[in-house]
Structure 1
């Protein structure tokens, strides 16, 4: 909602979606999702390498 429609923080969207100051509703949701997946992959890698019990 925050990057797509601007209704929740960080309240970024395109002018054609709502009356927002800054943002790009056509690309920012994908950029955010991309970084969310990258951070999840990094956390999973650390877990596998340092904390997962091996048999």
Structure 2
């Protein structure tokens, strides 16, 4: 995989609960970030811990 392919954004979807979505919306508003940004950040942290 090339460096460009690694950094090209990809769209995914997943199923979540109403409670999780409400929490994401609240955090996004509080931190002035998008939900996508929050999920990418959480995923990065999880993947780095799993190495």
Same fold (TM over 0.5): no
TM value normalised by structure 1: 0.38
Bigger CA radius of gyration:
1
Write 1 or 2 for the structure with the bigger share of helix.
2
